[in-house]
Amino acid sequence: MPPPPPPLPYTCSLYYGLDHNNFGHVCSLSVLFIQYDAVLLPSCTPSFMVRVMEMLSEEANTQPQTSTHQKEDFSFGKILGEGSFSTVVLAKELATGKEYAMKILEKNHIRKENKVHYVIREKDILSSIDHPFFIKLFFTFQDSHKLYFALSYAKNGELLRYIRKIGSFDETCTRFYAAEIVCALEYLHGMGIIHRDLKPENILLNEEMHIQITDFGTAKQLSSESAQKRANSFVGTAQYVSPELLTEKSACKSSDLWALGCIIYQLVAGLPPFRAGNEYLIFQKIIKLEYDFPEKFFPKAKDLVIRLLSSDPGERLGCEEMGGFDLLKGHVFFETISWGNLPLQTPPKLTPYLPAMAEDDQDFYGNQYEDLLSQMSSLQVFPSSSAQILPMRSRSNIEQYIHDLDSNSFELDLQFSTEEKQLLLQKQISGNPWHQFVENNLIYKMGPVDKRKPNRTYYLMDPSGNADKWCKKIEEVWGTVYH
């Protein structure tokens, strides 16, 4: 390790490494707890310590740059997304009118959670990426409390939103967006970078509806100085985690190909292939490669998914051991794709393969629930005040017990007999677009809710103010199952 750098002439301290005026300056990217005595966090790797020391030594002979941006230069609007230690807000530069997705990070929270290395890594990776299928980092700055990343604004939001909105994509749409993800991964892996958290939530759509992959906080830059091919840390989202991360606690480039297989499956089926009641059960299914294809899954897409969802990372189509991305792009599913000018092509209109769930709305499902209920127009309704235990009913009048709640949701009485529940299930299968998500179970209550996720705690809020009725129905279902 090189000796500690000489005292810096232009600042009294680099305490926490984040108090320098210009966050884009090398000096301000130093890891937390670096001071003149070169004390570093124990969690820092030797190679990272060497890198920081070298940067500090170089900085000692230079003058700090003057920050060209500050928060007063922008007007801040709606929240675009929230992460575990950041918030992304729509920001308009007052001088130019240009819009950015401004990622804002709290310094105190970064220090408390020991996440500085993630912040540094994300900035380094974003600064090195120059490809139309990725979010672009334009500049960074900071104030006394916060860090700011000015990112390109993907106006059409998350791919996940559209999967939820229309249910599933037809073959043309699935092929096009899968091809764009393949192109993005080919570029990323060529840079020696693993994303490690590829999922529809991290795939945004720009104004022209092309993809822009985001969220590189858990990405990994593989070392070019060694034969390093794996990243040894557990990151990712349960439904898209590759089996090697569960069994060997390490990810590789092929781990992103596994996630690609999960995403292609989800584009067609509407849900990821591995799902269960909790993360442990999801992980067990992944390790056992336990998943099924729904009926009418596109045969060519099915073959591609099978080749991507291999338990052995070295056998996944597209990995280096299998011939790389040329063979992946040559799969029969992509036979109509013109790879050379994909970013310049006009994306196909999003068309559902399964019945559409709802029209476009900001809350995915909320504003059009009455339209969904109208699809069940053959079901008669009665006031929700009827909560007493009901007598046995004949087949001819079961439907009258399906009733409307506040014109925006409905619930079923739990006192139906087994035979009556089967009749209701048959009607649900034929008339309820949400049935595909409940694994052949009878829906007792449904309605729009808003999701909030402060600090990874999920709050589901009924915009119509009927949270107490949701709680009551949950308690009733719980009592029916366990008593």
Highest mean pLDDT among 19-33, 381-395, 409-423, 444-458: 409-423
62-114 residue pLDDT tens = 333 445 899 999 999 999 988 777 899 999 999 999 999 999 999 998 988 88
The yes-or-no verdict on residue 390 having pLDDT over 80 is no
Q: Which residue has the higher pLDDT, 172 or 231?
A: 172
Q: Is the pLDDT of residue 449 over 90?
A: no
One-letter identity of residue 414: L
What does the alpha-carbon distance between residue 263 and residue 270 come to, in Å, rounded to a whole number? 10
User: Residues 6 or more apart from 418 whose CB is under 8 A from it?
Assistant: none
The answer, as to whether pTM is greater than 0.75, is no
Active site amino acids: 197
Instruction: Tell me the CB-side half-sphere exposure of residue 383, using CA atoms within 13 A.
Output: 3
Give the angle 444-446-451 at the CA atoms, nearest 5°.
135
The DSSP-derived string for 294-314 is: PTT--HHHHHHHHHHS-SSGG
Mean pLDDT in residue range 210-222? 93
The pLDDT value recorded for residue 293 is: 95
Task: Round to whole Å and give the CA distance between 211 and 300.
Answer: 22
Contact 8, 60 (CB under 8 A): yes
Over residues 338-360, the mean pLDDT reads 77
pLDDT computed for residue 415 by the predictor = 66
Residue positions forming the annotated binding site for ATP: 103
C-alpha to C-alpha distance for 398 and 133, rounded to whole angstroms = 52
Measured CA to CA, the distance from residue 304 to residue 332 in angstroms comes to 8
Backbone angles phi, psi at 288, to 5 degrees: -85, 0
Would you say residue 125 has pLDDT above 80? yes
Give the mean model confidence (pLDDT) for residues 450-476: 64
DSSP annotation of 317: T
Q: How far is CA 471 from the centre of its chain?
A: 28
User: Cα dist. 221→129, 192, 251 in Å?
Assistant: 12, 6, 12
pLDDT at 43: 40
Radius of gyration of the chain (CA): 26
Q: For residue 448, what is the DSSP state?
A: -
DSSP calls for 213-262: E---TT-EE--SSS---EE-S--S-GGG--HHHHHTS-EEHHHHHHHHHH
Q: What is the pLDDT of residues 47-60, one digit of tens each?
A: 544 454 454 444 44
- Region 200-224 average pLDDT: 92
Tell me the pLDDT tens digit for each residue of 225-263.
Answer: 444 555 555 567 899 999 999 998 888 999 999 999 999
Looking at domain 366-482, its CATH architecture is Roll (2.30)
Question: Range(s) for CATH 1.10.510.10 in the chain?
Answer: 159-344
Cβ atoms of 342 and 180 within 8 Å: the answer is yes
Q: Among 1.10.510.10, 1.20.1250.20, 1.10.3210.10, 1.10.10.10, what is the CATH number of 159-344? A: 1.10.510.10
Q: How far apart are CA 322 and CA 337, in angstroms?
A: 21
pLDDT for position 304: 98
CA atoms within 13 A on the CB side of 88: 20
> 354 or 428, which is more confident?
428
Topology of 72-151 in CATH? Phosphorylase Kinase; domain 1 (3.30.200)
Secondary structure letter of residue 210 according to DSSP: -
Mean pLDDT is lowest, of 305-314, 368-377, 430-439, for 368-377
Cα 429 to Cα 409: distance, rounded to the nearest angstrom: 18
Render pLDDT for 267-277 as a digit per residue (tens, 0 to 9): 999 999 999 88
Identify whether the C-beta of residue 107 lies closer than 8 Å to the C-beta of residue 18: yes
Q: What is the mean pLDDT of residues 415-440?
A: 75
Contact predicate 271/239, CB 8 Å: no
User: Where, residue-wise, is CATH 3.30.200.20 in the chain?
Assistant: 72-151
